Structure 1
Amino acid sequence: MYGKKRPKQLIWSVIFSLFICISCTEGSNLKSNFHKNVVISGETQGTTYKIIIAEDYSIVNQKSVDSIFLHFDNVLSTYNNSSVISILNRSLNPIIVDDDSGYFRECFSKSQLIFNQTNGYFDPSVFPLVKGWGFMSGIPSPLTQNEVDSILLYVDFTVGNLYDISFKNKDIYFEKNNPKYMMDFNSIAQGLSVDIIDRFLSRKGCFNYYIEVGGEIIVRGKNREGSNWKIGIDTPKENLAKRKIENILQISDKAIATSGNYRNFYFANGEKYVHSLNPKTGFPVNNSLLSVTVVAESCCLADGYATAFMVMGREETLDFIRENSNLNIDVYMLYQDEDGSIKRSMTDGFLKYIF
Structure 2
Amino acid sequence: MGENARKNIIYSIILLLIVFIVFLYRQNQQDPNLPADEVASNKIVITGQTMGTSYRVVYLDDQRRAFKQGIDSVLVDFNQSLSTYVPDSEISRFNSRDTLQIETNYFISVLQGSKQVFEETGGAFDPTIGPLTNIWGFGPEGAQLKDSVEIREILRTVDYNLVSFDQDIAFKLRPGVQLDFSAIAKGYGVDVVVDYLESQGIKNMLVEIGGELVGRGVNEHGELWKIGINRPDEEGAADEIFSIIALQDQGLATSGNYRNFYVRDGVKYSHTISPFTGYPVRHGLLSATVLAKNCMMADAYATAFMVMGTEASIALQQELGNIEIFLIFNDEEGNINTYISEGLKPFISTLN
Taking structure 1 as the reference length, the TM-score comes to 0.84
Q: CA deviation at 1:336?
A: 1.8
Distance in 2 (CA, whole Å) between partners of 1:256 and 1:222 is: 16
2:288 is matched with which residue?
292
Q: CA deviation at 1:236?
A: 1.0
Are the aligned partners of 1:38 and 1:56 in contact in 2 as well (CA < 8 Å)?
no
Distance in 1 (CA, whole Å) between partners of 2:223 and 2:163 is: 48
Distance in 2 (CA, whole Å) between partners of 1:73 and 1:322 is: 34
Q: CA deviation at 1:263?
A: 1.7
Q: Structure 1 residue 165 and structure 2 residue 159: aligned?
A: no
Q: Structure 1 residue 301 and structure 2 residue 307: aligned?
A: no
Q: Map of 1:31-46 to 2, 5 A cutoff?
A: 32-46=38-52
1:121 is matched with which residue?
124
Distance in 2 (CA, whole Å) between partners of 1:219 and 1:138 is: 35
Match of residue 99, structure 1, among 103, 113, 118: 103
Q: CA deviation at 1:269?
A: 1.7
1:213 is matched with which residue?
209
Structure with the higher fraction of residues in helix conformation: 2
Distance in 2 (CA, whole Å) between partners of 1:343 and 1:28 is: 44
Are the aligned partners of 1:140 and 1:267 in contact in 2 as well (CA < 8 Å)?
no
Are the aligned partners of 2:42 and 2:63 in contact in 1 as well (CA < 8 Å)?
no
Note the aligned Cα RMSD (angstroms): 1.9
User: Residues 34 and 112 (structure 1 numbering): CA distance in 2 closer, same or farther, change over 3 Å?
Assistant: same
Distance in 1 (CA, whole Å) between partners of 2:59 and 2:333 is: 44
2:74 is matched with which residue?
68
Q: CA deviation at 1:36?
A: 4.5
Distance in 2 (CA, whole Å) between partners of 1:29 and 1:181 is: 46
Q: Structure 1 residue 84 and structure 2 residue 90: aligned?
A: yes
1:146 is matched with which residue?
149
2:8 is matched with which residue?
none
CA deviations over 1:12-50 (Å, ceiling 9, x no partner):
xxxxxxxxxxxxxxx986864243411110111111100
User: Residues 95 and 108 (structure 1 numbering): CA distance in 2 closer, same or farther, change over 3 Å?
Assistant: closer
Q: Percent identity?
A: 37
Q: CA deviation at 1:242?
A: 6.2
Taking structure 2 as the reference length, the TM-score comes to 0.85
Q: Map of 1:306-321 to 2, 5 A cutoff?
A: 306-321=302-317
2:264 is matched with which residue?
268
Distance in 1 (CA, whole Å) between partners of 2:313 and 2:333 is: 22
User: Residues 112 and 155 (structure 1 numbering): CA distance in 2 closer, same or farther, change over 3 Å?
Assistant: same
Aligned length: 317
Find the residue that maps to 1:186 and give its secondary structure: coil
Match of residue 346, structure 2, among 335, 338, 352: 352
Corresponding letter in the other structure for 1:149: R
Distance in 1 (CA, whole Å) between partners of 2:184 and 2:44 is: 27
Corresponding letter in the other structure for 1:148: I
Greater RCO (Cα-Cα under 8 Å, separation 6 or more): 1
Are the aligned partners of 1:256 and 1:302 in contact in 2 as well (CA < 8 Å)?
yes
Corresponding letter in the other structure for 2:158: V
Q: CA deviation at 1:285?
A: 0.8
Distance in 2 (CA, whole Å) between partners of 1:242 and 1:177 is: 42
Q: Larger C-alpha radius of gyration, 1 or 2?
A: 2
Match of residue 247, structure 2, among 238, 247, 251: 251
Q: CA deviation at 1:86?
A: 0.7
